[in-house]
Structure 1
Amino acid sequence: MKILYTSDQVTQRVKDMAQEIINTYPTDKPLFVCLLKGAVPFASQLLTAITEINPAFYPEVEYMHVSAYGDKREASDATTYSSIAENVVRGRDVIVLDDCLDRGFTYQDAKRQLLDQGAVSVKLVVLAHKQTGEPGRETPFLVGFDTPDVWLVGMGMDDAAHAPEAERWASYIGHVSPEQS
């Protein structure tokens, strides 16, 4: 495993992202939707940073269980396992929080569902943005780090092919090579 971004680099970038969100939404507070399970470490750090910078911001967060990987290092089509109550979403600006954007299917699935539930707008804030060259992939509203197209671990990204939840809770972002197991 090779570390791409240290814990200190991640923490500083997340604080910078928190400030950008506060600057973008000074009065109207968006609904944050955390994509489970991967976005939890990132979302926790981001929402904490928002309230430390602006204690009156009061982030509201909901959760959506979406998966594209399972226990492999190969993506399949995204599957949504849970949704959010329509009355919570309707008429709101929504910010989807995700750990990693690679092909974009997970986000597209979540976005479609949130718009169907009446969201005014849906934007993506992602910690890691893989440079895959995927055609037609949507550009995130905010990106923590542009990364190479490699298998990433840490800050919510796991290596379930190695062991359940392996590296998910690490505070850094690293990558493992396909031959590592």
Structure 2
Amino acid sequence: MDSTDMGEDLKEILITEEQISSRLDELAAEIDRDYEGREILVIGVLKGAVMVMADLTRKLHTPLTMDWMAVSSYGSGTRSSGVVRILKDLETDLEGRHVLIIEDIVDSGLTLSWLKTNLESRGPASVEIATLLRKPDAASVDIDVEYVGFDIPNEFVVGYGLDYDQKYRNLPFIGTLAPHVYGG
């Protein structure tokens, strides 16, 4: 899928496929440097992190293993309350491991803050976060994100794993939707 497949549904492309790939190269180099001599357990947060996790981990030279989690936060409409339910838990024991959570986007930070605290309670050596996107203006809690691809405005975005109504995840770029798509 590309921008031409979207027709009038695409408002604008915020971050191109080339910009994403280039930034992931830079993040991989940072992660490789920071974890030199250690193995990491990379944890992807489903469903949005699939694209970031696949592309970022292929760029890493650091030895790693992978696992996945799926969580759901309850809230009204498009806002998270920070009340989280685990839909799919890890299959890997975290005891003594260096954990790197990979996210597609950090919005309010509520769910991610809960997730990091939950994982830290499982006895890892360390827990850090890498995200492709961060919305600083949307933050409700202060959460330390070690590796950030791009800071973006507080707009609803799709593509590269991010969806609207489970659509648009397979776009190779980050874009915004035309208001008629979501009734805005």
Q: TM-score, structure 2 length as denominator? A: 0.84
Which residue of the other structure, out of 71, 92, 111, is the alignment partner of 1:106?
111
Corresponding residue for residue 22 of structure 1? 32
- Tell me which of 72, 96, 105 is aligned to 1:67: 72
Same amino acid, percent of matched pairs: 29
Match of 1:136 among 138, 141, 145: 141
Task: Please state whether the residue corresponding to 2:108 is helix, strand or coil.
Answer: coil
**Residue in structure 2 matched with residue 80 of structure 1 by the alignment:** 86
**Aligned 8 A contact 2:110 2:140 in 1:** no
Cα 1:91–1:166, aligned 2, differ >3 Å: closer, same or farther?
Answer: same
Distance 1:105 1:171 in 2: 27
Q: 1:10 aligns with which of 20, 43, 59?
A: 20
Distance of 1:140 and 1:108 partners within structure 2: 10
Aligned residues: 170
Q: Deviation per CA, 1:36-60: give whole Å up to 9, x if none.
A: 111011000000111xxx3xx3321
Secondary structure of the structure 2 residue equivalent to 1:65: strand
Note the C-alpha offset of 1:146: 0.3
Secondary structure at 1:99 match in 2: strand
> One-letter code of the match for 1:27?
G
Contact 1:90/1:119 (8 A) holds in 2: yes
2:125 matched to 1:120? yes
* Structure 1 residue 135, shift from structure 2 partner: 4.6
Q: Structure 2: give runs of 5+ residues left out of the alignment.
A: 1-10
Gaps of 5+ in 1: none
What is the aligned counterpart of 2:154 among 136, 149, 159? 149
The answer as to whether partners of 1:31 and 1:92 remain within 8 angstroms in 2 is yes
* Deviation beyond 4 Å, 4+ runs, structure 1: none
Q: Deviations over 1:55-100 (max 9, x none)?
A: xx33211101113389x64434333212224x62111121100000
Check whether the contact 1:73–1:159 (CA below 8 A) recurs between aligned residues. no
SS at match of 2:124: coil
| Normalised TM-score (structure 1) | 0.85
Contact 1:73 1:151 in 2 (8 A): no
Q: What RMSD, in angstroms, separates the aligned Cα atoms of the two structures? A: 2.0
